[in-house]
Structure 1
Amino acid sequence: MSPFMAHLLFAVGAEPDTAVRPEGLGDHRMRMGTRLAGNLHETPDHGEHAMETNPPANPGRRAFLLVPAAALLLSGLPGHGGERKPLKIGIIGAGRIGGTLGELWVKAGHEVLLSSRHPERLEDLARRLGPRARAGTPREAAVFGDVILMSVPYGALPQVGRDLAAELAGKIVLDTGNPYPSRDGDMAVAARAKGTGVASAGFLPGVRLVRAFNSLPHTALRSEAHRSGERAAVPLAADDEEALRVAARLVEDAGFEPVAVGPLARAKEFDVGTAVYGKALTARELRRGLGLARP
């Protein structure tokens, strides 16, 4: 457990038996509770998502379950962990989602390498974004990035994972893809049944995966970024503490508010077809829709 998380556990008074323990990835791995404040499930009668709220059994447990959200808030404060330096972001699939996020991150001071199977088609966009952007191949993006944005059609994810396994190993990867059976075939059906977070982790072994930017409409990435008032929220799911913090920073830098939902297994709660999918919700609305409403 990292000193940062240990400090948070102490600050909120979590009980010793609720401590976060590493599971094979040292300080980078964080085991989150199976319930943060509730659970979203599908009701068999209507096929719709309903909320079932189960409060934690005791105050110590309740405090622990708030740690991921507190970690996200504190990690975004200036000065936490030193000065926040610009990141190098490799974007694999610079289409409507990847291209828009690349533009937002360049404006925030990061460097991006935009990639696709036809990098020559991205040269104009890279020139327009200025010296912090350039175009290249997916392999070049995988090598370039401290962080990778994976934004390819979901059916292509297994092949990308195989082709770039060596380049992606150990890197933080933000996965935006959604499985659509009409486009991606039977693998999409299986991914939805398993949960996209768990399925993506199987296609991208060895990476530090975060489900992110999959639930907002691509048009909202441009129209809702840095909006006045309460920002639009982006749900995040990850099994890796540091990856979650980096993803939260990039969500903020793009002009949105990060909401930690839980481990990758809980990414299913904001998959295609859920009550929160495809909506530009505020953080309060998103937490309420996912049963994460704060007490």
Structure 2
Amino acid sequence: MEIAVLGAGHVGPVLARLALAAGHTVSIAGSGDPARIAMIVEFLAPGAVAASAADAVADAGLVVLAIPWHRFPSLDPAPFAGKVVVDAMNHWPPAAAPLGTSEQVAARLTGAHVVKALNHIAYQDMEPAAGRAAGVAGDSPAAVAVVSGFLRDIGFDPVPVGPLSAGRHLEPGSPLFGVAAGQPDFENLPTLAKEQS
């Protein structure tokens, strides 16, 4: 599968390496000219291609948003229509927001199939992924299946959390956030166990 990773900071290159190791083709986009991140990509994710966001998204079967939250509003929503989009971003608002980050992403990226995943795992805990549980929240069963398959490909054990609104349970402040646990322990955490009951 063609994977577009938007974000060349901490999370993006780790996910790119995992995807490449699983046999996927990967493009990484930063916030500007791809030439600015070409050396970073070559060093941190050899085999991935530095691209513009538009080019990376255009050919992708799966798009991962791993950019700082404050950069998200600058994205052009048009190229994301019809795409499966993983929201791996985090936001620490000063007060409780009426919507979770992924609900806000879905509202802006009209026509995209947004799934919340990977944001709750610290980048240093992602590699190796084997045995790590990764929560998955989304409203489209087909998109959740695509993302869950991708997570399995790269070594994670996907754990359904519920609809996109339940993605809040993966956000900062939740007992699930920052937890590097295996699937049984993750599923037994109080927040998730309550959601699934």
TM-score, shorter chain, exceeding 0.5 = yes
- Counterparts of 1:1-295 in structure 2, within 5 Å, are 87-118=1-32, 119-128=34-43, 129-131=45-47, 133-160=48-75, 163=76, 165-181=77-93, 189=95, 192-222=97-127, 224-226=128-130, 231-289=131-189, 290-291=192-193
Partners of 2:108 and 2:153 in 1: how far apart? 28
Aligned-residue offset at 1:101 = 0.2
Letter in 2 for 1:203: R
SS of match in other structure, 1:260: strand
Aligned-residue offset at 1:127 = 3.6
Aligned-residue offset at 1:103 = 0.8
Give ranges in structure 1 of 5+ residues lacking alignment. Answer: 1-86
CA RMSD across the alignment:
2.1
Partners of 1:112 and 1:214 in 2: how far apart? 19
Aligned-residue offset at 1:282 = 1.3
Query: How has the CA–CA distance of structure 1 residues 109 and 261 changed in structure 2, closer, same or farther, with 3 Å as cutoff?
Result: same
Query: How has the CA–CA distance of structure 1 residues 261 and 238 changed in structure 2, closer, same or farther, with 3 Å as cutoff?
Result: same
Partners of 2:73 and 2:162 in 1: how far apart? 24
User: Residue deviations 1:225-251, cap 9 Å, x none?
Assistant: 22xxxx110000011111111101111
Does the CA contact (< 8 Å) of 2:78 and 2:109 recur in 1?
no
Equivalent pairs, count: 193
Does the CA contact (< 8 Å) of 1:287 and 1:293 recur in 2?
no
Query: How has the CA–CA distance of structure 1 residues 158 and 293 changed in structure 2, closer, same or farther, with 3 Å as cutoff?
Result: closer
Report which of the two structures shows the higher radius of gyration computed on alpha carbons: 1
Q: TM-score, normalised by structure 1?
A: 0.61
Give ranges in structure 2 of 5+ residues lacking alignment. Answer: none
User: Residue deviations 1:247-291, cap 9 Å, x none?
Assistant: 011111221110011110111122110111111011111111111
Partners of 1:125 and 1:155 in 2: how far apart? 22
